[in-house]
Each structure stands twice: as C-alpha cells, then as structure tokens.
C-alpha cells in the first residue's frame, strides 16, 4: 500500500480504494480480482466471510490473540469486498455506524 495507509485513520480508506481499483481494472495477478470474477460470484465471497468468521471465533475461544487479529483482518477485508460488490462505500458504513453511536 501507499504512504496514505501509514496513518491509522487512512488504512481502511486505502484498502477500500485498492479493492475498488481491483474491481474496476481486474488485474490478472490479484487475489481481489479472483473474488470479483469467481464462477460462484457473490456466494464465493459470502463463503469466505463465513470461513473467516469461524476462524476468528475459534482463535478467540482458544485465546490466540495473534491469530484472532489475523483472522479479523481477513474478515474485514472480505467484508469490504462484499460492500464493494454491493456498490456500498466506506462512507455508507461510517454513516450507519454514526447513526448507531
């Protein structure tokens, strides 16, 4: 990622921007591209979210903090891909969270 991602506040923005870029450009050597073009479509990303959720739960249950952080990062990444697939933005998510706060 770029220097933009060096700021704590900008990490999610930079990640989401990269996801959106991969969605538009579909570079062949990108894992993100495979999520957007997989033959199962959206269901593939939903399966990944389920898988990462389960792995995060198991890591938490086993008090494996490092693993919990890694799986949580995977979960957030796949959730951001899903938001992009649904043409939702981080600002949409922020607005929803602000309404609940």
**Under 8 Å between Cβ of 15 and 77:** yes
Please tell me the predicted confidence (pLDDT) of residue 6: 60
pTM given for the model? 0.89
Q: How far apart are CA 34 and CA 51, in angstroms?
A: 17
CATH code of the region 3-100: 1.10.287.1080
Please tell me the predicted confidence (pLDDT) of residue 48: 98
**Under 8 Å between Cβ of 82 and 49:** yes
What does each of the 101 residues of the chain score in pLDDT, given as a tens digit? Answer: 555 556 766 999 999 999 999 999 999 999 999 999 999 999 999 999 999 999 999 999 999 999 999 999 999 999 999 999 999 999 999 999 999 99
């Amino acid at each position: 990622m770029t220097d933009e991602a060096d700021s704590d506040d900008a990490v999610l923005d930079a990640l989401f921007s990269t996801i959106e870029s991969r969605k538009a450009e579909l570079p062949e050597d990108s894992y993100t591209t495979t999520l957007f073009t997989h033959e199962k479509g959206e269901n593939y990303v939903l399966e990944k979210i389920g898988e990462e959720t389960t792995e995060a739960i198991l890591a938490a249950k086993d008090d494996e903090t490092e693993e919990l952080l890694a799986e949580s990062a995977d979960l957030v990444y796949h959730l951001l891909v899903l938001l992009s697939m649904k043409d939702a933005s981080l600002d949409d998510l922020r607005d929803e969270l602000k309404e609940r706060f």
